Structure 1
Amino acid sequence: MRFFTFAVFFSFFINLTFAQILDDSTKQVYGPKSVKFRLEKNILKNFNTEYNPDTTLENFYKSDILVERNWLYQDLGNIGTASKSILFEELSDPSTKLGLNAFSLYTPNVANFRYYNTRSPYTNLFYMQGSNGHIRLDFTHSQNISPRLNFTLNVSKYNSSKQIDATNAEEKLIDHWNYDISTNYSSKNKKYTFLGTFYHLNHNQKEQGGILIKENLSIDIKDLKSNYRRFYDSQFTNGVYNTERWNNLHTYQQFVLKNGFQVFHVLDYEHQKHIFVDPQFSTNSTQLSYNIEPTVLENDSLIQNFSFNVLSNKVGFKGRYKGFNYLLHARQRFYRLDNKFSEKFKTNLKSETFLGGSLGYYFKDSSNFLNADAEFSASLKNFLLNSKLSFKGLEGTFYQSVIPVGLFYDNFDNGVIGWNNSFKGLSTTHLKAGYGLKYKSLSFKPELANTLLGNYVYLNQKLKPIQTDTIINITNLILNVGINRPKFKASNQFILNIQNAKDIYKLPTLINFTNIEFNFTYAKVLKIFVGSDVFFKSKYTADAYSPLLNQFYLQDDFQVWGVATIDPYMSFQVNKVRLAFKLGHANQGLRYQGFYTSPYYLATPRAFLFKVDWPIFD
């Protein structure tokens, strides 16, 4: 891996040297503006919006998806680990799901697939390495076969390392890789459009069970040691892991008839495979993280292996009439749960039928709009409604849904723990409003969100699913303040959470994210950004994580967070090559030697991170 880092630096040096040799009169024909991509959600809504690859330094330093989203998730302290959202997240459809979402941040989302149109071959190389064993390599290559036909390949591979009970800095905790192959085609008269993607994902998490409690070593936050690998052991023996493997095929096609009237078709096939293995389950079952009675199995090992298959077929028509976008569709969905370890946790082939549509009005300035999307099951038992308003700084959302509980919560059995329920559909009503104000370089945006959860389902302290019979009311008061000047930028997001069910729905009362950044240009060509992030969550009794179920569950004793982390960074750009350096948790040791993000799971200690992005446009 050191050799690879050296190769990147060497290639970068050669590129800079060659750039300096070029004559000043040399003109660059191809670049970010000659590469464009579209998103399916825009095509579906009749927008011809095209985007260019991001070559700016803004937010380039951010190291992973949790940091990109201001750490508004609970995780197991390392990149790629099981996580759950702290705040409300909208769903996109009311269909029956499996209900296992611990790795959902790292699984495919067809809304984010990019469909390119390139004038010349486009390649992007991305590499990131951290001193704590985190390594990421991304590769993109896109090329038009003809002016109307494109093929694209994306490959992503990353690892993060164990921070406790590891013999070396590169012993893997997370092993993730995915690739997708996509194509898009438009007919010469632009009446026919086709988009298609095949996606594969393999996400593996080694399960350690968190820190092992020892009589002679306190794990209280005030007593933590700085060298985690030296002082702390994991609760489990080696060989325990959870894996998700996905294979997805997604196609979209539309045909324009007279007067802009269009018909469209969407086909999705999704195959999920979930595997859990503990080769010494009888031994590990005595540990706190399993939270079960010690269990002796006949062959000492536990293996769970099941798959979830979904085929979805959607047809509809859409168009634009007097400034309004309209869409109507019907969707047929088939799903099946196959199981190799228990006949009880199995669902034969079932079907669901949905009718839906959307209606939106967009002003000449596309940032101002009113849009509503809805989908109802044929029985009208389940539905989802999502409406949004954006007008001259005012933003509003009204979301309401009734969706089935996941199959996992209704019926599960692995020979050690199990249940059989008949839960009602989950009811959610969410309202959010915000108003943005600007005065010169100052910005101010207060937001108010309120969420009502009915028939809420959770895993209790004994790992049993419980459905509430009362409404959970959660209110989020959000204040965003910013300063944006040519050489200086600062922003702060403050969130106050108020709710009526603190014993069931665990939230930190306060969340704060601050960013301060300076930028300047050195020698007229080198753009440099220097800044720091500060993250803070107030102390709270977050849900515990169950490796056996790959889910979070309720606990009342172990408190996490309650500290601030400071992450200084520097990023710069030469020509099109972007580089960033970051020191995560730089303030470790000033007050505490660490903190917990989940019960028994430590946050990643102070670590240096290097990041480079190199686009090639010809």
Structure 2
Amino acid sequence: MKNYLLLLACCLFGWQSFAQLRTIDGGGGSPRTDRTLGTDQRIDSLNNGEIKVKLTGKTKYTDYKIISHRNDTTIVDTTLTIQKYYKFNFLRKDNFELLAFHNQGQTFNNLGYDFSRQSLFPDIGFRAKQFNYLEVEDVKYYQVPTPTTEIMYRTGLEQGQVLDALFTTNFSKRFNIGIAYRGLRSLGAYRRSLASTGNFRLTFHYESPKGQYAVRGHAVNQDFTNQENGGLTAESLTNFLTDNPNFSGNRGRLDVNFNDAESILEGKRLYFEQSYRLLQTKDTTNTSNFSNLKVGHEFTRDSKYFEFKQTTASDIFDTNRMLGTIANKTTFLMYNNALFVDFNSRYVLGRFRIKTMYTTYDYGYENLQNNTVPMQNNRIKGKALSFGADWRGKVGNFYVNASGLLSPGSGRLAGNSLEAEAYYKKDSVFTVKARLKISDRQPNFNFLFHQSSYQKYNWEKNFTSVGTRVLGGDFTSKWGNVSLDLTNIDKYTYFDENGLPQQFSGNVNYLKLKASKEFKWWKLGLDNTVMYQKVASGASVLRVPEFVTRNTLYYSDHWFKGKPLYVQIGATLKYFSAYKANAYNPLLGEFTLQNTTDIGYPTVDLFFNGRVRRTRIYFKADNISSFFLKKNYLSAPNHPYRDFVIRFGVVWNWFI
């Protein structure tokens, strides 16, 4: 982590120094310094004046672009909204459907599920450790007229903080690089709950002068380290629930189950995509029979490993185990090469892509451990050839996106996936969207094969493919937003109460309905989000609360003469109905079923947010409701949610 922060600091300092060489013609031949947007003329020069590049035209805020993996474009936004307040956390996303553990950097329990983002191929697993893991689709690319920096800082619990720093610049209009690092370290209020994480990203994209050749890619290095305390002991849990005054002021006095356990997940990925245009046309109405023919290549190397370490074995996991230090380390490596052909045609009403992929994987352990459970191999390897197509079409205000992928055969990578969405957009009035996801794929590898020094946690399984069908829709408008998802899962896989992998023999039918609406009057606002869920069949293996609601009442106004400060002051109430929330198993890095504890409660948070120019400031008082409500707030059995705490944070943008 320190090396990445040093590298980022050097880059920022170097570019700040470079910015001192920029002068702007202020008229009459005398240069003046100007760092504001909207400049009419800029002259970039070296000290000796030998090289001068004059840039004409105004720089607008819409020129600072963020480009997604699917090439959807947004802009750098420095406004202050309630939606940005919801995303001010170490995940940098709205966690409405998540239930956080007490310390930031730890895992989350699920208040709702989204089965539409599953990939065709199985992953290493250990899903409780991957909430902060950035996939290929999560990495952003940039297009900026001047060097751009964003810093997000937030205080941690007890000791520590979160820092997410981004620097990006265009060396020319066609070549951009970005470097970013998100680092977190937080001690936590309970024993053995230290969290330390890091997400390093390096991105680039380039396009040749005539736009024939284009390439983009990224390198990502991620590591997540957590001390694992196994939750409170039975006696300590009683002291917490009864609000014993001997422990309410110092949670570190409560005993925990483990005093020497630790889990680590690390991942490294190298990705790039390049394309060459063989046939080009300026026709943007897609009236030609065949245009914009492009061939390309996509490469991904993705490696991960998960390790659980424990100095002294514990009977909580299993009484039958090997002697000595516990050190379970699982590795995973996947290579993927794809070739594709893109073209436009009036017959497909948009862009069409045909692709083929060759994928290899290697999952397992360095060697077979000496245990009483018979294991045939220490690694499982395989390869697969896949075929697919993508389509993005448009007719007036009607849009269609579809993607299909087929991996034939009977291996562990065999399966198929179909995603389709169609939506109609009526200017800024409303948007109606329908979507469909059908997939058939193997469970994650840790369901199929796992080794441990604890004898119970050794298995080799031959589970059948999991079939998932999701039918949903969204209605977004100025009157409110509504989304509905109907999910059917055949052969759903899960970990039972004993931490063992199982496959449900029946079907899981899951309904999720979510609605949101913000009301405004005078300087007051009331933002509401309500979610209703129902598991019609399979409720014994998929548990969710029936109701989840979040309501934020706030006051907003500009303060002081000249309106330099914009503020938001308010309170957020979040509530979810009681349900048998899953238990956390740190050895597996997964959540398991449990049938003894019901969890469900309200929390109230207070906040004061402010914006000065391009700086957003956040003050938050977490769980102020702990002063007057029952001490029954748990994130999982034996794992309390956080007590009252005040935290501070800031998001700051520079446009050099």
Q: Into which bin does the TM-score normalised by the smaller protein fall?
A: 0.7 to 0.9
The SS at the match of 1:106 is: coil
Distance in 1 between residues matched to 2:574 and 2:186, nearest whole Å: 21
Distance in 2 between residues matched to 1:73 and 1:56, nearest whole Å: 25
Distance in 2 between residues matched to 1:89 and 1:110, nearest whole Å: 17
The SS at the match of 2:115 is: coil
Distance 1:210 1:359, change over 3 A: same
The SS at the match of 1:135 is: strand
Distance in 2 between residues matched to 1:514 and 1:55, nearest whole Å: 24
How far residue 389 of structure 1 moved from its aligned partner, in angstroms, is: 2.0
Residue in 1 that maps onto 2:255: 233
- Choose from 579, 584, 593 the match for 1:554: 593
* Aligned positions of 1:343-422 closer than 5 A: 344=375, 346-365=378-397, 368-379=398-409, 381-392=414-425, 393-416=431-454, 417-422=457-462
Residue in 1 that maps onto 2:65: 36
Between stretches 204-213 and 584-593, larger displacement belongs to: 584-593
Distance in 2 between residues matched to 1:181 and 1:197, nearest whole Å: 5
State the structure with more CA Rg.
Answer: 2
| Gap regions ≥5 residues in structure 2 | 1-31, 40-58, 280-290, 370-374, 426-430
Q: Which amino acid aligns with 1:351?
A: K
- Work out whether 1:522 is the aligned partner of 2:559: yes
Between stretches 421-430 and 104-113, larger displacement belongs to: 104-113
Q: Which amino acid aligns with 2:587?
A: L
- Work out whether 1:304 is the aligned partner of 2:328: yes
- Work out whether 1:479 is the aligned partner of 2:515: yes
How far residue 484 of structure 1 moved from its aligned partner, in angstroms, is: 4.6
- Work out whether 1:533 is the aligned partner of 2:558: no
Distance in 2 between residues matched to 1:370 and 1:358, nearest whole Å: 11
How far residue 133 of structure 1 moved from its aligned partner, in angstroms, is: 3.8
* Aligned positions of 1:101-500 closer than 5 A: 101-130=127-156, 132-133=158-159, 135-165=161-191, 173-214=194-235, 217-220=238-241, 226-237=248-259, 239-258=260-279, 259-281=291-313, 285-287=314-316, 290=317, 292=318, 294-295=319-320, 297-299=322-324, 301-322=325-346, 323-340=349-366, 342=368, 344=375, 346-365=378-397, 368-379=398-409, 381-392=414-425, 393-416=431-454, 417-436=457-476, 438=478, 443-484=479-520, 487-499=523-535, 500=537
Q: Does structure 2 retain, via aligned residues, the 8 Å contact 1:61–1:581?
A: no
How far residue 61 of structure 1 moved from its aligned partner, in angstroms, is: 3.1
Residue in 1 that maps onto 2:7: none
Distance in 2 between residues matched to 1:104 and 1:25, nearest whole Å: 44
Q: Which amino acid aligns with 1:60?
A: K
- Choose from 64, 72, 75 the match for 2:89: 64
The SS at the match of 1:578 is: strand
Q: Does structure 1 retain, via aligned residues, the 8 Å contact 2:322–2:453?
A: no
Q: Does structure 1 retain, via aligned residues, the 8 Å contact 2:90–2:162?
A: no
Write the deviation string for residues 348-374 of structure 1: whole angstroms up to 9, x where unpaired. Answer: 431012111122322455xx4222211
How far residue 210 of structure 1 moved from its aligned partner, in angstroms, is: 0.5
Distance in 2 between residues matched to 1:114 and 1:351, nearest whole Å: 29
Distance 1:120 1:27, change over 3 A: closer
Q: TM-score, normalised by structure 1?
A: 0.86
Residue in 1 that maps onto 2:652: 614
Q: Which amino acid aligns with 1:476?
A: K
Q: Does structure 2 retain, via aligned residues, the 8 Å contact 1:341–1:414?
A: no
Q: What is the percent sequence identity of the aligned residues?
A: 17
Distance in 2 between residues matched to 1:535 and 1:27, nearest whole Å: 41
How far residue 313 of structure 1 moved from its aligned partner, in angstroms, is: 0.5
Write the deviation string for residues 424-465 of structure 1: whole angstroms up to 9, x where unpaired. Answer: 001111111343454xxxx23443321111111111112221
Distance in 1 between residues matched to 2:485 and 2:257, nearest whole Å: 39
The SS at the match of 2:627 is: coil
Between stretches 133-142 and 325-334, larger displacement belongs to: 133-142
Residue in 2 that maps onto 1:169: none
Q: TM-score, normalised by structure 2?
A: 0.81
Q: Does structure 2 retain, via aligned residues, the 8 Å contact 1:95–1:352?
A: no
Distance in 2 between residues matched to 1:432 and 1:578, nearest whole Å: 35
How far residue 536 of structure 1 moved from its aligned partner, in angstroms, is: 1.0
Write the deviation string for residues 174-221 of structure 1: whole angstroms up to 9, x where unpaired. Answer: 100121112111100012111021111111011000011228944436
Residue in 1 that maps onto 2:539: 502
How far residue 73 of structure 1 moved from its aligned partner, in angstroms, is: 2.3
Distance in 2 between residues matched to 1:474 and 1:208, nearest whole Å: 33
* Aligned positions of 1:578-617 closer than 5 A: 578-593=616-631, 595-617=633-655
Q: Does structure 2 retain, via aligned residues, the 8 Å contact 1:70–1:513?
A: no
How far residue 303 of structure 1 moved from its aligned partner, in angstroms, is: 0.4
Write the deviation string for residues 261-305 of structure 1: whole angstroms up to 9, x where unpaired. Answer: 111211000111211100111xxx223xx3x3x245322x10012
How far residue 483 of structure 1 moved from its aligned partner, in angstroms, is: 2.0
Higher relative contact order (CA 8 A, sep 6+): 1
The SS at the match of 2:113 is: coil
The SS at the match of 2:70 is: helix
Between stretches 98-107 and 243-252, larger displacement belongs to: 98-107
Distance in 2 between residues matched to 1:309 and 1:216, nearest whole Å: 40
Q: Does structure 2 retain, via aligned residues, the 8 Å contact 1:226–1:589?
A: no
Distance in 1 between residues matched to 2:638 and 2:36, nearest whole Å: 57
Distance in 2 between residues matched to 1:486 and 1:402, nearest whole Å: 52
Q: Does structure 1 retain, via aligned residues, the 8 Å contact 2:104–2:157?
A: no
Write the deviation string for residues 454-502 of structure 1: whole angstroms up to 9, x where unpaired. Answer: 1111111122211111111112233333325674432222222211222
- Work out whether 1:79 is the aligned partner of 2:104: yes
Distance 1:388 1:269, change over 3 A: same
| Gap regions ≥5 residues in structure 1 | 1-22, 43-48, 167-171
Distance in 2 between residues matched to 1:90 and 1:518, nearest whole Å: 36
Between stretches 521-530 and 190-199, larger displacement belongs to: 521-530
How far residue 418 of structure 1 moved from its aligned partner, in angstroms, is: 1.3
